[in-house]
Amino acid sequence: MNILLLGYGKMGKIIGEIAESRGHSIAGKINIDNREDLDKLDPKSIDVAIEFSQPEAAFENISWSIQRQIPIVVGTTGWLEKKAEVEEMTLTNNGSFFYASNFSIGVNIFFKVNEFLSKLMNETDGYQVSVEEIHHTAKKDAPSGTAITLAEGIIKNLKSKSSWNLKGEQESSDQSVEITSKRIDPAPGTHIIKYESPIDDIEITHTAHSRQGFALGAVLVAEWIPSKKGVLSMDDFLSF
């Protein structure tokens, strides 16, 4: 396949290396310094786009791809206030749009463990749940998209919770899942779910050791998506 890389920072470079090691070609490497090169590309020569740029560039990159019938795989977070608009654009153009807050297979298993645990916690009282995420200092958005997905999984399954808040920005409430964000180098990503009570604590943790798992997952999805249409997610890819 010919893969267009939208965003060529640390993640984009690893994705490119993995894609080429799997026999694919890179149709273009677009970042903030050469954004004007995007319109010089022939859309018909591109099989799929992988978008790992910055929150402020994501919507424009996604729109460009969908309007040109290029399937797009998106891992950039921090732009989701426009996700509903992208989904409508995808359906209107009969396009292919895949978003995941995290492409690691291990993290997506962790999402399911988190949801299962939150269901179990409906059967007991006295625990307060929280989410903590730790990333490298170059990560601009907080909380991480993965932390938001984890909080949403808790809210969906734990009857006592109806919202989430970022510690330090909003006042927490009994109905809210509080997220703590820390930026510490060189952490590629750690996420902790903790249920605390006066009697004991229950804690589950996912720790990434490198960006390789995220990048490989994105390439695997890129290999899968060309024959698909519509708004897609990791649940579709993994058949959870």
How is residue 232 written in tokens? 């897609």
Indicate the residue type of 170: Q
- Of the candidates 24, 135, 191, 206, the residue annotated as catalytic is 135
* Annotated catalytic residue within 10, 29, 139, 167: 139
Give residue 210's identity as a one-letter amino acid code. S
C-alpha distances in angstroms, 155 versus 127, 177, 202?
15, 8, 17
Which residues partner with 201 through β-bridges?
A: 196
Q: Please, which residues have CB within 8 angstroms of residue 144's CB and are 6 or more apart in sequence? A: 77, 101, 133, 135, 181, 189, 191
Contact 191, 110 (CB under 8 A): yes
Q: Is 136 a catalytic residue?
A: no
Label residue 55 exposed, middle or buried (CB < 10 Å: 0-12, 13-18, 19+). Answer: middle
Q: Taking a C-beta distance cutoff of 8 angstroms, is the pair 226, 47 a contact?
A: yes
Q: Does 228 qualify as catalytic in the annotation?
A: no
Q: Which residues are catalytic?
A: 135, 139
